[in-house]
Each structure stands twice: as structure tokens, then as C-alpha cells.
Amino acid sequence: MEIENNNLKKRYILVVEDEDDIVRLISFHLEKEGYLVESAGSGREALENVSRKTPDLIILDIMLPEMDGLEVCRRLRGNSQTASIPILILSARKEEFDKVLGLELGADDYMAKPFSVRELVARVRAMLRRLEQRVDYDLPAKDNASAAEKIIRSGDIILYPERHQVTVGGEESSLTHKEFVLLEVLMENAGKVLTRDVLLDKVWGYEVEVDTRTVDVHVRYLRQKIEENPSIPRYIETVRGVGYRFVKT
């Protein structure tokens, strides 16, 4: 049926927020953009909702009844079914702590309240665009890689730019979008030292709210996923006072 097909194509966004006014505001603007929007008013409700129907993206407030947004984020990232859903964290708390912790727990983006709805919509659109690029190449099996497919290999790590996949020792590693792009930039420039500013520009681009500490947080998270021993990294070297270098092998 026509209508159902149209609905299937719509990207589904879950808004996790207990303040009705904010839910209404966000929903109104996202629906206007053509997205399908549902909301959950607590952390538990959010997890239940996600287990019923996987969203394409989650907007997650930190201050929630029952279970806070950081815990929701941690649980989603800890489950392979939900580990790669893009998450944008919202927080009313000004503390830098929330932002760093949120990103450390695997959120892809962060906005502090009060926020501009226009900017929120722009970020959602950008996050979904990256997801689309990934889904288009989400082939069913690794064997389907055509001979011409570009890969970037280093030691045990193989990065498939088109499929947005990374394998470490043959095992698929589930990276968030930002981690993936960060690794891609580092591997493409293997042997070169990249400053935090350069990495910020290449990976985060227009997102003006992030600062250079964000790079460190993501590098730490990435190391946990790709390094055998994250405290003695074999692949991503810290170049003191400068930035990071992917070791050329």
C-alpha cells in the first residue's frame, strides 16, 4: 500500500524527555521535516520502546525519572542490537561532566539546554545523513565485498569505508559514527601526526559546541574497542602536546 510504503521510508526518531513542552516542541519541528516521532517520558519507557521498535535516532535527555539518560545510553551501547543507534544527548545541566561522560558512554552528539530547535533539527539531519550512507552499504555478509571495494587495512584492523564497518582480527567492532569517522581519518593519514584541531575539523566539522577534549574522549573510547591493551596502544599513539598518530604498519 502506498501509504505504508511512505511510512516505511520515514526515519523514526525517539524523543526521550519528561518535559511535555520540550517533547511537543521537538516533535513538531521534526514531524514538519517529515520524520516519524515518538516519545518516552522515562528511561525505562525509552528502553521498552526501543526493544519494540528500533529507532533510527534517539534524542535523549539526561534528567529523567527512574533512570537517567546516561544510564539509558550505557545500556543501549552495551547491547549489540542497539549499540550503533545514533544518540543525541540533551542536558539542562551546565556541567562539562555530563558532556564528557555522555560522549564517553557512546553518545554521538550533545546539546545543552536551552537549545535552538533549528540547530537540533540540523544536527539530526546530519546524523541521519551519515546513517543513510552506512545503511546503503550495509551488505549482508563480508564475503559480498567486491574485488573493487576500497578497504583500509592496518595490522588486524580492516576498515570498510563504504560499508561503515570495521573488523578487528576478523571480528566486527561496533563503533559509533564519530568513532568510525575518527578511525577512518586516522588510518587514512597513518604515520602522520594529526593535531586535535585538525581532527575536530575533519570529524566534527561545523559542530561548534565541541572542544578539543572531545577528541581525547573519543580516542579513549576507540582504543577500548580496537586495541588489545588500551593503556598500551599499538595503533593510536598519543603525541604529547600535539595530537594523535595512527601507527603505520
Least distance from Ca ion to the Cβ atom of residue 208, Å:
24
Residue count of the chain, please give it: 249
Q: What is the distance between the alpha carbons of residues 233 and 224, in angstroms, rounded to a whole number?
A: 9
Nearest approach, Cβ of residue 166 and Ca ion (Å): 34
Which of residues 98 and 216 has its CB atom nearest to Ca ion in the complex?
98
Burial of 71 (0-12, 13-18, 19+ CB in 10 A): middle
Closest to Ca ion by CB, 36 or 63: 63
Torsion of CA 43, 45, 49, 50, to 10 degrees: 20
CB of 108 to Ca ion, least distance (A): 20
For residue 46, the minimal CB distance to Ca ion (Å) is: 12
Report how far residue 107's alpha carbon sits from residue 140's, in angstroms, rounded to the nearest whole number: 26
CB of 174 to Ca ion, least distance (A): 28
One DSSP character per residue, 122-151 reads HHHHHHHHHHHHHHHT--S-GGG--TT---
- To the nearest whole angstrom, how small is the minimum distance from the Cβ of residue 67 to Ca ion? 12
Q: Which residue number, 68 or 162, has a Cβ lying nearer to Ca ion?
A: 68
- Among positive and negative, which fits the CA dihedral 97, 99, 102, 106? negative
Residue nearest to Ca ion (CB): 63
14 or 187: whose CB is closer to Ca ion?
14
CA dist 61 and 177 (Å) reads: 20
- Residues making contact with Ca ion (CB under 5 A): 18, 61, 63
CB of 182 to Ca ion, least distance (A): 30
Q: Helix, strand, coil shares of the chain as percentages rounded to 5?
A: 45, 20, 35
Q: Which is nearer to Ca ion, 90 or 182 (CB)?
A: 90
Q: Would you say 43 or 161 has its CB closer to Ca ion?
A: 43
DSSP secondary-structure letter at 97? H
Cβ distance to Ca ion smaller for residue 74 or 234: 74
Return d(Cα 89, Cα 69) in angstroms, integer: 8
